[in-house]
A and B are shown apart, each in its own frame.
Chain A
Amino acid sequence: MTETTEFDAVVVGAGPAGAAAAFELARAGRSVALVERGPFPGSKNMYGGVVYGRILDTLIPRWWEEMPVQRWVTRRQTMLMTGHQALTIDYRTDTWGRPPYNGATAYRPDFDSWLADKAVQQGATLLCSTTVTGLLVEGGRTVGVRTDRPDGDLRAGVVIAADGVNSFLAKEAGLYGEVSADNYTVGVKETIALPREVIDERFAVRGDHGVDIEIIGCTGEVPGGGFLYTNADTVAVGLVLSLPALAAGGSRPEELLAALKAHPAVAPLVEGGEVKEYSAHVIPEAGYDMMPELVGDGLLVAGDAAAMCLAAGVWLEGVNFAIGSGAAAGRAAHAALRSGDTTAAGLAGYRTRLESSFVLADHRKLREAPHLVMGDLAQRQLPGLACDVAEAVFQVTNPDPKPGLVRIARKQIARHGLKLPTVARETIRALRAYG
């Protein structure tokens, strides 16, 4: 017989979703265990990475004074790229470098450890180096979890599965339909060491200000995208790649990444640096359309475990969605415990909370966006077309007269094998998807 310990709630996974859930439960006075399989929170987690901290306002007032930040993002770029060209939209504002800020680069081991510690300060019990191996189920309802610890199982009124993209708990509970590789991408990234002054110089920033670059057209035959972020004394450069296309053969992830690093628009930013850490992680890419049931009897699913990462081209936001959904799960669990009904019906307030917040509102509104971004037009035609139009506009053709913008656009659209009505239709579709 193994000994069991009883909590009001057990939260599986000390990523941002789990830490936020445990924080809200502990703040409400509930006994809560936050279980993490890594030796410390964040040790299993990688991302681009920028944390958009606005959602933290509701949990930790003036969080920016204590959050472990690498740089505050004051410059955001979107780059459309072909093998030899790049067209960049570059926005900068120093306002984002002052309280209350917008986004910050941070290392996940630092950030996740900090946020989990906040939950501990509220009274949560953090159990690291503990892998949850399955759900404890009695009479069809979840009553706790099994762990690989010799001292046994953890019983709880509510279990919150915040166990990330692979969520074996949500799958075990039957909350997912068919799982298809089509809905996932894998991210690979190099953290490259460079002296702080070199980064300041190359990216034209000062002090603790930094840059966030999203790239499209840099993944060869594989649908996906790239990113480049500045940390204090490293640069993170990586790719997000469609799983089925990668599996179809041709290129390996690190080969595509080497090609991006060699591109004339990227090489001068990263050259000479040494790879400090290589990392990889899977992303739930398809958003709203791949989400599981969010509630079971005695069970809630939050964050990437519920596919709540928003991957919509110019936006790659998962940490804030994880915190938003985790906090909502914590509050819903507390309310259900108070009412004495932790069945799926008693926990249904979770979905209502998410629907009235950005978490499901954004996902529902942007439902089409992930498909559009990974589609042929955005992947294969848009980057080349945009670059060629830019080239035709800026190239001086003397002694020939300037061709005029309308003619350039017409000519390039035709050259890229597109028809004006197609472009018009797709533009309207994109405007709708992002409306």
Chain B
Amino acid sequence: MTARGAQGNEVVGPLGPTYPAISFETRMDSVEFRVHERPHIVVDDTICRDCSVRGCITACPANLFIPTSDGGILFNYEQCFECGTCYLVCNEEGAISWSYPEGGHGVVFHSS
């Protein structure tokens, strides 16, 4: 299948360019997040340094796990779907502390 990165360039299908791809930022801007000051997910990236799989990076639909050049993980909880994918794919005990945000906070869907 032919489609290039979702970072703003044109998506090219077999019939040629079809529509402009939206940037990941625009995609996430379509979602409402009522951010609470307490992070509901905390990543201990000293543990990530020993992880060879690093499945969270490709699997997190919100793209919140950013690999750093020194082998760590940069994580920010604010635009999280609260889906659970990350703790399910993470195979290193203790790397992810996962909980739901305080009541009334976090993601709010309207047309899904």
Spell out A's residues near B (CB within 8 Å).
37-39, 42-47, 49, 83-84, 107-109, 128-131, 133, 147-149, 165-166, 179, 181, 184, 186, 188-191, 218, 220, 231, 234, 236, 243-244, 246-256, 258-264, 267, 271-272, 275-282
Contacts and interface: CB of A to CB of B under 8 A. Distances in A.
A248 B112 CA distance: 28
A252 B63 contact: yes
Contacts of B1: 83, 218, 220, 256, 259-260, 262-263
A414 to B, nearest CB: 25
Contacts of A190: 27
A278 B103 CA distance: 22
25 contacts: A37-B104, A39-B34, A42-B109, A44-B108, A44-B109, A107-B112, A128-B103, A129-B103, A130-B104, A184-B84, A190-B27, A254-B6, A254-B24, A254-B61, A261-B11, A262-B2, A262-B3, A267-B13, A275-B22, A275-B26, A277-B112, A278-B31, A280-B62, A282-B84, A282-B85
Contacts of B11: 258-259, 261-262
Given A255-B6, A275-B30, A281 B83 contact: yes
A45 B112 CA distance: 7
B109 A45 contact: yes
Interface of B: 1-3, 5-6, 11-15, 18-19, 21-22, 24, 26-28, 30-31, 34, 53-59, 61-63, 81-85, 88-89, 99-104, 106-112
Given A107-B111, A129-B103, 13 more contacts: A37-B101, A43-B108, A44-B107, A44-B109, A131-B100, A231-B111, A246-B89, A259-B1, A262-B2, A262-B3, A267-B19, A275-B27, A279-B109
Contacts of B83: 186, 280-282
B111 A277 contact: yes
Q: Which secondary structure characterizes the binding site on chain B?
A: loop
A267 B18 contact: yes
Contact of A255 (B5, B15, B62, B103): B5
A259 to B, nearest CB: 4
Contacts of A262: 1-3, 11-14, 18
Contacts, number: 179
B76 to A, nearest CB: 16
Contact of A263 (B13, B99, B104): B13
A117 to B, nearest CB: 17
Contacts of A254: 6, 24, 27, 61, 63
A44 B82 contact: yes
Contacts of B55: 244, 246-249
B48 to A, nearest CB: 14
Contact of B103 (A149, A179, A260, A282): A149
